Every structure is written in C-alpha cells, then in structure tokens.
Amino acid sequence: MSNKFTLFLSLTLIFGATAVGVLLYGQLPDPMPSHWNAAGEVDGYISRFWGVFLIPLVTLGLLVLFLLIPTIDPLKANIAQFRPIYNAFIVGFIVYMLYVYGLTLAAALGSRFNMTQMLLPAIGLLFLGISFLIKNAKRNFFIGIRTPWTLSSDRVWEKTHQLGAKLFALSGLITLVSAFLGETGLWLMLAALLLAVVVPIVYSYLLFAQEEQTK
C-alpha cells in the first residue's frame, strides 16, 4: 500500500465517520456513554460534543504520528523495507478506532449490546495485524519490540520478533475465542497480551547475553 493511498484512505475514513457523527448529533443524548466495565456495561459518560469528536480527533492525531515516524527515525531506511506492511497496519488501526466510534454512537442511540463481546473480536484481529507487522519489521527505534538488546543487534532483533509475532498471533486467536466467554474472556485476553509482551522482552535479553558470551 503506497504512502499517498494510505493517507487518502485514512483521511476519508476518519472524516466520513465524523460526518456520520455530526449528522446524528441532534439525536444523541447529552451526556453520552463513554466507558464500559469488564462486564460490558456502561459505567461512565461524556458530553455529547466530546462523544462525537473525541475519537475522530484522537484517531487523526495518531495518524499524523504514524506517518511522522518513518521520516524521523534514524533507521528510516530499514522502515522503508517494510513500509507497505506498515501502511496497511495504519489503515487497519484506523478501522479499529472507527469501529469503536461506531459502537459508541450506536450505544448512545439506544442499541443494547455487550461492549466487551463486541470489542474482543476486533481486538483479536488487531493483535493478528500486530503479529504480521512485527514479523516483517526491520530494526528501528519506533516500530516493533524495542528493547536495549534488540536495538543493539540485528540477530537479537530478528529472533525476538519471530517469537513475538507467534505470541501475538496466538494472543489474537485466544482473543477471538474469548469473545464467547463473557467477562472471563476479557481477563483471558489480558493474560494472553501480557504473555506476548513480557516473554519477548526477557527472550531478547537472554539472546543478547548469549551473544555477548560468544564474543
């Protein structure tokens, strides 16, 4: 996916979703639901203005950040090697954020559903997208599993990301299944995510220590 098409598609999605929110503005309550507990029940509210505009603004800000990263990274040449995959992840992340936005609007309009059960499949797909991204990521300072040990060695980076990609893929699959387990599913997803985050960090240190011993 090219850089220009990524920008065009992302902005189209963000402004299109915002337009829907503006069109529905008069039908939305004030305040609107804004937070849900582990059981998927509303437990927090926000003013209608921010309910309509906050997620689009945050998403737009993240888009700017995502597009800025490849231009400021000292290892930008490495990012260029997997830039089409990175661009695809950006669009996927935008879709995820706007899915959350759509659920928020639907809940405000009176639709009854369990937010946790609706979110978990999307989070599972997001984890699968992260898995594919880090599997292909080359050493850089912003994208991937960045520890002092992965950043110091291409070998440690590659091996750590191979493991990390598998663990995030597993977390994604577990999260997809957890959508059918009610409130328990949320805790199962968090446990899987913790595993995918912590294990590669420890593994990268062990690889680096092993590499240092062989010098």
| For the chain, domain boundaries | 1-112, 114-215
User: What is the tens place of the pLDDT at every residue in 95-128?
Assistant: 999 999 999 999 999 998 888 889 999 999 999 9
**Cα gap 119→211, rounded to integer Å:** 41
**pTM, two decimal places:** 0.92
Q: CB under 8 Å to 208, separation ≥6 — which residues?
A: 149, 152, 153, 156
Write out the chain's pLDDT in tens, 215 residues.
899 999 999 999 999 999 999 999 999 999 999 988 877 788 889 999 999 999 999 999 999 999 999 999 999 999 999 999 999 999 999 999 999 999 999 999 999 888 888 999 999 999 999 999 999 999 999 999 999 999 999 999 999 999 999 999 999 999 999 888 877 888 888 999 999 999 999 999 999 998 878 76
Q: Cβ of 68: how many Cβ atoms within 10 Å?
A: 11
> What is the distance between the terminal CA atoms of the chain, rounded to a whole angstrom?
41
pLDDT of residue 180: 83
